[in-house]
Structure 1
Amino acid sequence: MTGDAALIDRFLEMMAAEAGAARNTLSAYETDLRLASDASGGRLAQADAAAIGRVSDGWSALAPATVARKAAALRRFFAFLLDEGFRADDPGIALPRPGTTRGLPRTLSTGDVDAMFAAITARVARDPPDRNDLRLSALFELLYGSGLRATELVSLPRGAVASDRPYMILKGKGGRERMVPLSDRARAAVAAWRDHVPADSPWLFPSGKAHLTRVRLYQIVRALAAEAGIPPDRISPHVLRHAFATHLLEGGADLRALQAMLGHADIATTEIYTHVDRARLVRLVNERHPLIDAAPVRP
């Protein structure tokens, strides 16, 4: 059988080409597999269930989420070896399956969002308007109005948003393309900002010789939150993406449509928002149901 290093490389190539795995995912898989190979004396690909058990025993001090990630990487690797004929069995059954509880994503109320947009409106209304306020308006309209990831937003090409087209085609995680809806407000905000972007800039949000960084976007978002009276530690660009998804679902959006808009490869990732919505419904029942104040029925 080919050695671990070559098989890991082939597995990563498959994950990139066929599964469309993102760069960060590939990097994590590579690290986990190479560490497991070292722990098994360079014989991970030939390891039996007992050997795999010894490797996973070394994870005992790690957080459940980390163990789950490492086990998932090894399971996919062994499934690949089985599919490609490098093994006749799959020892992945010996890997642990820690019971990790996925926390609900932090989000914002519609009142929080209204407060931030009110602060933006007050800024843009100043005469003459500051170009940074126009940029702020465009950034927030796209973050909350279209649910973009921070990296997707800051790296948008100058011509990504057309004034006569209510959507844009975006290449997101794993190189997957998706159609992103654009509100009239977002297109108007981008058009007002683009008038201040140099014509030779390849980016919609340029900064120096490149585009706006994710760190700077994070700082901009937190500064506006503070101005709107929202504790800055409650907000980030990704929280605004969560708010986009949560509020759409609360408004009756279809889960499959939401998956497409967010660019999730797996519907299971999108389903976390059903838990957010369910939590809201439970809270509504506990706080607003007409029987709350009624005396309990005694047997």
Structure 2
Amino acid sequence: MKNPSTLTCTRLLKCSISLGVFAATNLQTLLARLLGRDSRGTCVVLDYHSLPPDQRTRFAEQLDTLLQLAEPIDVSTDIQLRSGVRYAGVTFDDAFENFVHQALPELEKRNMPATLFVISDALDKAFGPAGCAERVMSLEQLRSLPTGLISIGSHTATHPMLPLLSESEARMELVQSRKSLEERLRRPVLTFSFPFGGFSQRLIELCREAGYKRVFTTLPVLAFTDPSEFVVGRVRVDPTDWPLEFRLKLAGAYRWLPAAFAFKRKIVSCPILRPFFGRMGQGARSLSRIRELSSR
């Protein structure tokens, strides 16, 4: 587990690069306007998870920022972006009970739509790592959600890492979760989000076969660049994000990350450089062990 100072440095680095992307994008938009060209509409889908009571105020501030800088949309519906308009959609994974008590009132106050991705076999149970588990909403709470504001999607039946399952196991997770939710909630479930962001081309095909109309990843790319887009990217956000960090995510300025991750994988997998990265990893682990022992 990374120490807080390392995490802060990583966030600062990502924020700095994203600030450069944001500046370049604004310059490009300005030049387009000077040339009499319409800038295309853009959309970012936000990916929330849990919302503890002590973070509700910051969450409300983020929603206000969203309303100032973008037009909220329901990501479960057909979407056609208008030129020059910035859109944003809100999603929540896991359907934790604190959504009802903390997030829903703030969404209703602003009449802001959201999509909730539910783990069908986890209803009314504690879910999460040992020591950090949180209670998932009950069936009654799900049924009580305002249908005109909150749409329901599937997040599998048991929240596995789908790429690690056999094809038959993955298909069962996709089909059974949708069937279970539709039968119990008596409303259509046509969207899906991949647990841990893990997906493959074959899993996307299985989602189509299972009857989903749209699936969501955790790749922070711009959404709905194609009106018929089936695979939609999202950017992970938390109420604890710095204000600048949140604004940059909302602007789509973190969209450089997938390319950076792909480049890093190529570098690390290079046969010539692999021994070097292996030594770096051993050194980092040794340093971590020394710090651990010295702190006792």
Taking structure 2 as the reference length, the TM-score comes to 0.23
Decide which structure has the larger Cα Rg and report it.
1
Taking structure 1 as the reference length, the TM-score comes to 0.23
